[in-house]
Amino acid sequence: MRLLSISILCASFLVVAAAGSSARLSNAELTKQVADTERAFAATMRARDHAAFTRFVSDEAVFFAGSAPLRGKEAVAKAWLPFYDKPEAPFSWEPDQVEVVDSGTLAYSSGPVYDAKGKQSGRFHSIWRLEAPNTWNIVFDSGCEVCARCAADTH
């Protein structure tokens, strides 16, 4: 009887373990999830919604801008607030490259940045971290002005 109970318990653990591993998203699904998150992040600029913008920023975020990086969600939110003050968005962006590490916990996104008139003015590079189930937050962000390398997508 005890052997039967142990067998049932072991079988139950195997079923739970199998269910957990099958619930993990594929790399293609995670890549789409990150790309969609990046697009939603960019949509906050079009919508002029600074509060929504900050919800995508990790508490530990580091944004490279100017001579010193912005460290932490509060510093990033404060520095980006002027971009949301006017009725028209000063720039926009969209991902054209997304890669997710095999563990499914970190991702890289990159793509063009456009000025208010729709002309490409630079390129962004972001690192996202899975901080809760289906919740990606940006931990590193930087950009560059349009240059020959950006235009050729060589970096």
- What CATH number should be reported for the domain holding residue 111? 3.10.450.50
Give a yes or no: residue 14 inside a domain.
no
pTM of the predicted structure, to 2 decimals:
0.80
Distance CA 127, CA 119 (A): 24
Give a yes or no: residue 107 inside a domain.
yes
Burial class (CB in 10 A: 0-12, 13-18, 19+), 110: buried
Give a yes or no: residue 3 inside a domain.
no
Q: What is the pLDDT of residue 122?
A: 95
**Based on the structure, what is the number of domains in the chain?**
1
Give a yes or no: residue 15 inside a domain.
no
pLDDT in tens, 68-108: 999 999 999 999 999 999 999 999 999 999 999 999 999 99
Question: Across the chain, what does the average pLDDT equal?
Answer: 86
Distance CA 150, CA 155 (A): 7
Alpha helices in 48-106 (DSSP H): 50-55, 73-85
